[in-house]
């Protein structure tokens, strides 16, 4: 039942070609940027749903929080670091897909806090921020854990 409710939150954007293009971008080792974004989106939805918060905005922001296509390991900004630069790129791309409410905007722009310096304004934004970090940790550690298991056997 929760899966149906989750899908109803993102149904109008999930199949957008700009979002589906994220499946071609490697994010953390074997995880595509689309899979990472879906992970952040779904877990943010679950947490916000549990607490009775704005789970729709959390799900949508989670799906669009890393909406950029360059390889951050290769492409460098002359202005600032990738950690503080890509939320603005993701926000600009997300605005081309749909109208964003204040919670979605805040979550996308501030999901790299504390690198972005200004903390999230809404509790849903903070959830997206923290879930993003946990998902990234599991994606990176999962790869390292599998490699370590192979090397030690």
Question: How do the domains of the chain map onto residue ranges?
Answer: 2-152
DSSP single-letter state for residue 23:
G
Under the banding of pLDDT at 50, 70 and 90, the label for residue 146 is very low
Under the banding of pLDDT at 50, 70 and 90, the label for residue 81 is low
Residues across the chain: 153
Please give the helix or strand (H or E) that residue 32 lies within, else none: strand 31-32
User: Residue 33 in contact with residue 22, Cβ under 8 Å?
Assistant: yes
| Residue where the block lists tokens 């791309």 | 93
Secondary-structure breakdown of the chain: helix, strand, coil percentages, each rounded to the nearest 5: 65, 5, 30
Q: How high is the pLDDT of residue 10?
A: 97
Q: How high is the pLDDT of residue 97?
A: 95
With 60 as the cut, is the pLDDT of residue 107 above it?
Answer: yes
Q: Report the topology of domain 2-152.
A: Hypothetical protein af1432 (1.10.3210)
Please give the helix or strand (H or E) that residue 62 lies within, else none: helix 55-64
């Amino acid at each position: 039942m929760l899966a149906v409710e989750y899908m109803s939150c993102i149904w109008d954007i999930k199949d957008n070609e700009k979002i589906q293009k994220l499946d071609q971008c490697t994010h953390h080792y074997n995880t595509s940027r689309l899979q990472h974004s879906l992970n952040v989106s779904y877990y943010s939805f679950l947490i916000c749903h549990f607490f009775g918060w704005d789970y729709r905005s959390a799900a949508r922001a989670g799906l669009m929080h890393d909406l950029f296509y360059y390889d951050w390991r290769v492409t460098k900004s002359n202005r600032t670091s990738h950690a503080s630069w890509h939320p603005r790129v993701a926000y600009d791309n997300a605005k081309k897909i749909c109208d964003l409410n204040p919670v979605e905007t805040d979550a996308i722009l501030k999901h790299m806090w504390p690198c972005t310096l200004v903390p999230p304004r809404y509790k849903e934004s903070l959830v997206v921020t923290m879930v993003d970090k946990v998902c990234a940790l599991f994606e990176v550690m999962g790869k390292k854990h599998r490699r370590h298991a192979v090397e030690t056997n």
